[in-house]
């Protein structure tokens, strides 16, 4: 994965269009162009032309986009991460330390007694933090263990089939002898 995007990839648009990968901007103009990138901040897919314009516009030049092929390789649990507040339909902007949940600007007014909020945009560079590195290692270890487990199960299944065939042969021989 090229970059860590906090609370991204859960919009209905992303789910709908990851399958089709159509440029969101061109689609609004009734043009069908294949999307190459996705901008989590704008929540839009971009074709090569729109991606170029997106990188040049002052309002969006600082946005980090992700390749559509990279999106398709992400585990399914990543797409379960929500971008916006279910109550206020606003993007999450802060993290409430007391309740350990992301909150929108409107929710922040309700959480004023919870302590100092963490601004989620400041967390975007946390991929290199020791906690994330440890988590990535744990995930790799679990994945290796699952692969070994699967290999063992396949081997066990193969051995059981061999034993079953052997038992059938012995049973047939026994029946023919008696």
How do residues 50-80 score in pLDDT, each as one tens digit?
999 999 999 999 888 888 887 777 776 666 6
Q: What is the mean pLDDT of residues 132-143?
A: 80
Model pLDDT for residues 71-125, shown as the tens digit of each residue: 777 776 666 677 778 898 888 888 888 888 889 999 998 888 888 888 877 666 5
Question: pLDDT category, 155, cuts 50, 70, 90?
Answer: very high
Contact assessment for residue 72 and residue 84, using Cβ atoms and an 8 Å cutoff: no
Question: pLDDT category, 167, cuts 50, 70, 90?
Answer: very high
Contact assessment for residue 118 and residue 95, using Cβ atoms and an 8 Å cutoff: yes
Task: Give the separation between CA 26 and CA 35, rounded to whole angstroms.
Answer: 9
Domain boundaries in the chain? 1-82, 84-125, 129-178
pLDDT at 3: 37
């Amino acid at each position: 994965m090229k970059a860590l995007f906090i609370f991204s990839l859960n919009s209905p648009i992303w789910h709908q269009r990851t399958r089709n990968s159509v440029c969101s901007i061109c689609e609004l103009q009734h043009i069908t162009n294949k999307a190459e990138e996705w901008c989590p901040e704008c929540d839009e897919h971009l074709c090569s032309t729109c991606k170029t314009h997106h990188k040049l516009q002052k309002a969006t030049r600082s946005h980090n986009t992700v390749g559509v092929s990279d999106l398709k390789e992400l585990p399914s649990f990543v797409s379960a991460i929500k971008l916006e507040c279910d109550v206020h339909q606003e993007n999450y902007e802060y993290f409430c330390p007391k309740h350990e949940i992301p909150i929108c600007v409107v929710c922040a007014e309700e959480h004023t007694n919870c302590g100092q909020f963490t601004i989620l945009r400041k967390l975007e560079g946390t991929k290199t933090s020791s906690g994330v590195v440890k988590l990535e290692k744990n995930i790799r270890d679990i994945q290796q263990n699952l692969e070994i487990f699967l290999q063992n199960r396949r081997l066990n299944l193969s051995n059981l089939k061999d034993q079953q065939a052997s038992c059938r042969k012995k049973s047939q021989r026994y029946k023919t002898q008696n």
